[in-house]
């Protein structure tokens, strides 16, 4: 299992990046006040989803509904189907769901199952004109101590980190930290956290857990701090926490499958918009878009006799530049959590989907 993850991340290793910023999108005074979660790059998201009267948009990462609300408010006759794997968000967004009950459908579930979620709810015949992925955790999840996502002392909690904490069958951070082998932990920290100081930290985890199980986020932070001197420790703590979260929630696989599902579900001329928060997430999206926008460069048609044409046709095209798009300095001042956001977008063509031919 660990090997599988490592291979997936290694495959995405060799990418180059070109970043742009959208400095013309307005000043900080235009940013509305949100109670808990400030939606990241919300103007850019609206601009690239191209919402019109009658549009049906799937928000695959509903969270506290920041983007969903903006989409619904941007056009009085559009619709949103909103998905989230965290059952807690649906209670927290009761007011929003009530306010827009005629134009908003919420579905608990994982976006890797997008097609079947739509089928099970008899929504699969709808023409989907836009799909949004805003990856990672919401501020609510990070700031809730009982979820165990945060490494901050004042937010100490159990080592959990499941996005769906109601699922009794899923793996927790506690199980990873207290039962995985030294080499498994090192691989997770290195490949999913891009953390270099793995040897000392994993050895110390193994030593401490022989005395008693490591129970809380603060205990894990102390172990990392004891092995890595400051200032390097701060970055290592953040990387190791992110790596465990990604492993616990199977995030790489979710993103890869989610993109392929989006390709199947989007109607021709429909818009895909993604927001990533670190290079591993962004590499997956970038690789997917490179392959689907210029398939002949990345795939050999002779290997796929079942493809219905003589040559691969792009299933997406880039219709908006710059790519990728970064938040403005004004937005970063307004919401520091947007600082690492990377937005990409593309338009679905009418060509057959390519997801099934893409190599993992």
Ligand X SMILES: C[S@@+](CC[C@H](N)C(=O)[O-])C[C@H]1O[C@@H](n2cnc3c(N)ncnc32)[C@H](O)[C@@H]1O
Q: Among 41, 51, 57, 61, which residue sits at the site for ligand X (rule: CB under 6 A)?
A: 61
Minimum CB separation from ligand X for residue 229, in Å? Answer: 32
Contacts of 12 (CB under 8 A, 6+ apart): 280, 283, 284, 287
163 or 346: CB nearest ligand X = 163
Minimum CB separation from ligand X for residue 264, in Å? Answer: 16
CA 55 – CA 126 distance, rounded (Å): 10
Please identify which residue in the block is written with the tokens 């994982």: 110
CA 205 – CA 185 distance, rounded (Å): 9
- For position 184 contacting ligand X by CB under 6 A, the verdict is no
- For position 110 contacting ligand X by CB under 6 A, the verdict is yes
Q: Which stretch binds ligand X (CB under 6 A): 19-27, 85-93, 317-325, 339-347?
A: 85-93
Q: Taken in order 334, 336, 339, 340, is the CA torsion positive or negative? A: negative
Please identify which residue in the block is written with the tokens 């709808």: 126
- For position 130 contacting ligand X by CB under 6 A, the verdict is no
Q: Among 187, 254, 261, 331, which residue sits at the site for ligand X (rule: CB under 6 A)?
A: 254
Q: Among 46, 83, 117, 244, which residue sits at the site for ligand X (rule: CB under 6 A)?
A: 83
Q: Which stretch binds ligand X (CB under 6 A): 24-32, 130-138, 285-293, 351-359?
A: 130-138
- For position 149 contacting ligand X by CB under 6 A, the verdict is no
Cis peptide before 322 (omega within 30 of 0): yes
Q: Taken in order 313, 315, 318, 323, is the CA torsion positive or negative? A: negative
Strands 56-59 and 316-317: unpaired
Minimum CB separation from ligand X for residue 275, in Å? Answer: 8
Q: Which stretch binds ligand X (CB under 6 A): 84-92, 186-194, 222-230, 285-293?
A: 84-92
Distance of CA 309 to the CA centre of its chain: 33
Q: Which stretch binds ligand X (CB under 6 A): 79-87, 94-102, 151-159, 303-311?
A: 79-87
Residue 150-179 contact track with ligand X, rule CB under 6 A, x = bound: -------------x----------------
Q: Which stretch binds ligand X (CB under 6 A): 60-68, 208-216, 217-225, 309-317?
A: 60-68
Minimum CB separation from ligand X for residue 28, in Å? Answer: 18
Minimum CB separation from ligand X for residue 244, in Å? Answer: 15
CA 148 – CA 160 distance, rounded (Å): 5
CA 49 – CA 57 distance, rounded (Å): 8
Q: How far is CA 276 from CA 131, 233, 257, 267, 324, in A?
A: 14, 24, 15, 23, 10
CA 205 – CA 201 distance, rounded (Å): 6
Helices (H) and strands (E) in the chain, counts: 17, 9
Q: Among 50, 56, 58, 66, which residue sits at the site for ligand X (rule: CB under 6 A)?
A: 66
* Contact between 148 and 176 (Cβ < 8 Å): no
Q: Which stretch binds ligand X (CB under 6 A): 72-80, 109-117, 187-195, 283-291?
A: 109-117
Residue 146 CB coordination number (10 Å)? 11
- For position 37 contacting ligand X by CB under 6 A, the verdict is yes
Q: Contact positions toward ligand X, by CB under 6 A?
A: 37, 39, 61, 63-67, 83-86, 89, 110-112, 134, 136-138, 163, 254
């Amino acid at each position: 299992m660990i090997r599988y993850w490592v291979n997936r991340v290694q495959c995405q290793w060799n990418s180059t990046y070109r970043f742009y910023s959208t400095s013309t999108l307005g000043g900080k005074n235009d940013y509305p006040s949100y109670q808990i979660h400030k939606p990241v790059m919300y103007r850019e998201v609206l601009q690239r989803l191209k919402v019109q009267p009658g549009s049906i948009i799937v928000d695959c990462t509903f969270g506290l509904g920041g983007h969903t609300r903006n989409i619904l408010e941007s056009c009085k006759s559009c619709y949103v189907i909103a998905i989230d794997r965290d059952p807690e968000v649906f209670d927290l967004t009761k007011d929003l769901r009530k306010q827009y009950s005629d134009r908003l459908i919420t579905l608990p579930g994982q976006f890797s199952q997008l097609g079947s979620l739509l089928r099970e709810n008899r929504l699969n015949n709808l023409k989907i004109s836009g799909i949004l992925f805003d990856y990672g955790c919401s501020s609510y999840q990070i700031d809730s101590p009982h979820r165990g996502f945060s490494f901050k002392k004042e937010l100490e909690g159990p080592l959990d980190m499941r996005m769906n904490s109601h699922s009794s069958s899923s793996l927790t951070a506690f199980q990873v930290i207290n039962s995985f082998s030294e080499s498994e932990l090192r691989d997770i920290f290195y490949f999913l956290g891009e953390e270099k100081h793995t040897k000392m930290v994993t050895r110390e985890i193994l030593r401490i857990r022989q005395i008693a199980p490591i129970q809380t986020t603060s205990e894990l932070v102390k172990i990392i701090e004891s092995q890595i001197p400051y200032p390097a420790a701060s970055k290592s703590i953040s990387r190791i926490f992110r790596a465990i979260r990604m492993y616990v929630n199977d995030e790489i696989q979710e993103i890869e499958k989610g993109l392929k599902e989006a390709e199947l579900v989007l109607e021709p001329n429909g818009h895909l918009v993604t927001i990533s928060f670190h290079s591993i997430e962004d590499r997956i999206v970038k690789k997917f878009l490179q392959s689907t926008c210029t398939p002949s460069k990345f795939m050999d048609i002779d290997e796929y006799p079942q493809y219905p044409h003589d040559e691969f046709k792009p299933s997406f095209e880039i219709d908006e530049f710059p790519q990728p798009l970064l938040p403005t300095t004004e937005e970063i001042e307004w919401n520091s959590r947007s600082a690492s956001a990377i937005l990409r977008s593309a338009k679905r063509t009418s060509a057959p989907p390519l997801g099934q031919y893409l190599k993992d």
